[in-house]
Structure 1
Amino acid sequence: MQTLTEKEKMLSGEYYFPSNKVLQQDRAKAKAVCQQFNLAPESANKSALRALQGLFAASPNSWIEPTFYCDYGYNIHMGRNFYANHNVVILDAAPVTFGDDVMLAPGVLISTASHPLDAKRRNKGLETAKPITIGNSVWIGMGAKILDGVTIGDNAVIAAGALVNKDVPANTVVAGVPAVVIRQIENEDTISV
């Protein structure tokens, strides 16, 4: 029986030690690229953005405003026309998958990582991570927080300041702490462009 590495454990949703040397090196690389991106002058923004996009699994036609932070980058999968406004944080110990045409407002926090409820495991430094999936044409409002294991359906709107700890159905607006569905998005909410 083959023993899994801490990185393999992390990616498979098992308890893992983030203090592992390989994972520390992966995070250090991502932090260095994020720092370079965040400190780049406006005149060098496009080249700094290309370097940042090099961390991600895919990022066609994406645009990210500084400041931006992530843990690893290689677990972030972006669809077409992804946009992240200022001060977005994505803690990607597990895959974070965005559909096409997703927009993140300033201050959005997306976290796949969690710590054990059991104090002994938590005090040893263990954590787990569960994937987050965000559908097509989703808008996530300012300061919203998306927690581990959540799936957000197509065309959903997450209100500013919401704490999303459960799946969000397609074509709904959610708000609150914790977030709950406050309404359906109806045909009269759409216009021809």
Structure 2
Amino acid sequence: MLLGEYYDPSDAELVRLRLEARLLTEKLNQTSVSCPDKRVEIIKSLLGSTGNSIHIESTFNCDYGLNIHVGENFYANFGCVILDVAEVHIGENCFIAPQVGIYTATHPIDPIQRNSGLEFAKSIRIGNNCWIGGHATINPGVTLGDNVVVASGAVVTKSFGSNVVIGGNPARVLKAIE
């Protein structure tokens, strides 16, 4: 699964891992904002690795959690969904606006293969100092360099280098950041 090969999502170990993640996200989403230390404790137990400064607003959802790695000073606003069937690496000082979707999971294009139930995934990498605008979608296999700003509503279907503002559907470079 982590290597981008076909896998069976009904595998007992994967079902168990998804259940653990859903129980932790449920706990996080029900923990009051008046208990920030408890929220951080839950987040750190859910994700694969984090920096010390991390804040995720509820609601937050993911598949496994353990495949998500975020750097120092990470912030995700309301309604973030990260489908981490493959690894998701997000650098330091990254901010995610409301309703952002980061999706490593994908399905075969061929309907016979798709109907077999097999799935696959492609990892996502987001560099340091990135800001992903509200309702943006980051698709499987995308890599974003450092200092990238993703405009609200963008659908990112391919990788981009550093120091750019991208937007649109599909996303394209709107301007360079000096």
State the partner residue of 2:5. Answer: 14
Q: Which runs of 5+ in 2 are unaligned?
A: none
2:90–2:128 Cα contact (<8 Å) kept: yes
Residues 48-105 of structure 1: CA deviation (Å, up to 9, x unaligned): 3311221212111111111100100110011111110111000000000011101000
Tell me which of 38, 47, 66 is aligned to 1:56.
Answer: 47
1:104 paired to 2:113: no
1:13–1:128 Cα contact (<8 Å) kept: yes
| Correspondences of 1:112-131 after superposition (within 5 Å) | 112-131=104-123
Tell me which of 26, 34, 38 is aligned to 1:47.
Answer: 38
State the partner residue of 2:60. Answer: 68
Deviation of the 1:43 alpha carbon = 2.5
Structure 1 distance, partners of 2:45, 2:61, is: 14
State which drifts further: 41-50 or 25-34: 41-50
Structure 1 distance, partners of 2:115, 2:36, is: 41
Deviation of the 1:45 alpha carbon = 3.8
1:37–1:45 Cα contact (<8 Å) kept: no
Q: Which runs of 5+ in 1 are unaligned?
A: 1-9, 187-193
Structure 1 distance, partners of 2:59, 2:36, is: 12
1:137–1:156 Cα contact (<8 Å) kept: yes
Q: Which ranges of 4 or more aligned residues in structure 1 deviate by more than 6 Å?
A: none
Secondary structure of 1:16's partner?
coil
1:94 paired to 2:86: yes
**Which structure features the higher share of helix residues?**
1
| Matching residue's letter, 1:71 | D
Per the normalisation by structure 1, the TM-score is 0.89
State which drifts further: 33-42 or 135-144: 33-42
State the partner residue of 1:37. Answer: 28
- Structure with higher Rg: it is 1
Per the normalisation by structure 2, the TM-score is 0.96
State the partner residue of 1:184. Answer: 176
Tell me which of 122, 132, 149 is aligned to 1:140.
Answer: 132
Structure 2 distance, partners of 1:124, 1:86, is: 34
- More contact order relative to length (CA 8 Å, sep ≥ 6): 2
Q: CA RMSD in A?
A: 0.9
